[in-house]
Amino acid sequence: MSDDFVPWVEKYRPHKLSEIIGHENVTKRLEFYAKKKNMPHLLFCGPAGCGKTTSVIALANELYGDQLRQSFLELNASDERGIDVVRGKIKDFARSLALSDVPFKMIFLDEADALTSDAQHALRRTMEQYSRNTRFCLSANYSSRIIEPLQSRCAVFRFASLHDEDLQKIIAHIAKAEGLKVDEAAEKALLYVSAGDGRKVVNCLQACSASGNHVTGDEVYKVASRARPKEVAEMVQLALKGRFTEARKLLDELMIRYGMSGEDVMAQLYNEIIALDIPDAEKVLLVDRVGEYDFRLSEGADERIQLEALLAQIMLIKSRPK
């Protein structure tokens, strides 16, 4: 299939380790493994969209080249997370001999932190039994959900969220390739809504390109269903000044105009409260209230009522006696 008919996330996914942006310390070690054609089992940990899956696929491309299909098995553990997949599909692939120039095959378990505890315990013995002819690569958003015996069998690579300068390189590369004009306000908006997630930047750019070749800040916020930071900050300031009715009206406008969910508003509220120029004692109380109401939303409470109650709490905290 032509690259014109695939999502930009796949179209612009690096296929070589040298093309990966933002993780030079990791790719340098992976390039050494590819050069030596030998490596330990690997565990990649880090937030979503930071390049874990891309790094594994690029490593597999460096190792196997044209023989990739017969030597590399990719499974998403969140779909196939039970013990049966370890005893069946994984074991069948692991026990067969490698037919490529590289003396081992590779099994990639994406989102391995979704594997059940039984499946993880079954996997640790499989990794030992077939380590001569198969290497395992695991990726996880939360390393704490991977059992300690699995972690100790792997070389652990920790990925951080992408820095703004790394995201700017991605934006510039795609804009040049697709003939897009991304103005300064749009770039700042992309950095804000992505929060270090490279995948989110690429998807947002592709969505914005549907409206024309000129990407603006307004378009980015609409596509991402996020409010402008200054609008959320204004809502918080109104509540702090005791103007609850105006703050509530602005909340209604934000949720209607941008189609934001309660969780989205809560996340932006938290970011703006952290940035407020108020005494730390008041900021601590506000963060405590945000945590409380965020928990209520996660338990299924009505989002409009809880958000308006939070605005009321912000007003009361500011107006309480010193």
Angle, CA 315 vertex, CA 312 and CA 320 arms, to 5°: 120
Res 126 pLDDT > 90: no
* pLDDT confidence bin for 165, thresholds 50/70/90: very high
Of the candidates 233, 45, 253, the residue with the CA atom closest to the CA atom of residue 154: 45
Q: Per-residue pLDDT for 1 more than 70? A: no
Quick one: average pLDDT of 108-131? 85
Residue 179, burial from CB neighbour count under 10 angstroms (0-12, 13-18, 19+): exposed
Percentage of the chain exceeding pLDDT 70 = 93
3-state SS, residue 304: helix
Domain parsing of the chain, residue ranges: 3-158, 164-224, 229-317
Query: Could you tell me the pLDDT band of residue 101, with boundaries at 50, 70 and 90?
Result: confident
User: ∠28-34-38 over CA atoms, to 5°?
Assistant: 115
Indicate the average pLDDT of the chain. Answer: 86
- Residue whose token pair is 């594997």: 115
CATH architecture, domain defined by 229-317:
Up-down Bundle (1.20)
Whole-structure pTM value? 0.81
Give me the pLDDT at residue 69, please: 84
Selection from 128, 167, 165 nearest residue 150 by Cα? 128
Cβ 140 vs Cβ 44: under 8 Å: yes
Distance CA 112, CA 77 (A): 5
The stretch 105-127 carries a mean pLDDT of: 86
Class of domain 164-224: mainly alpha
SS3 303: helix
Indicate the CATH number for domain 3-158: 3.40.50.300
Helices (H), the chain: 8-11, 24-36, 52-64, 68-71, 83-85, 91-95, 117-129, 148-152, 164-178, 184-194, 198-209, 217-224, 229-240, 244-258, 262-274, 280-298, 303-319
- Residue 147's SS3 state is coil
Split at pLDDT 50, 70, 90, the class of 164 is very high
Residue 240 pLDDT exceeds 70:
yes
Confidence of residue 57 (pLDDT cuts 50, 70, 90): very high
Q: What is the pLDDT of residues 67-79, one digit of tens each?
A: 888 889 888 766 6
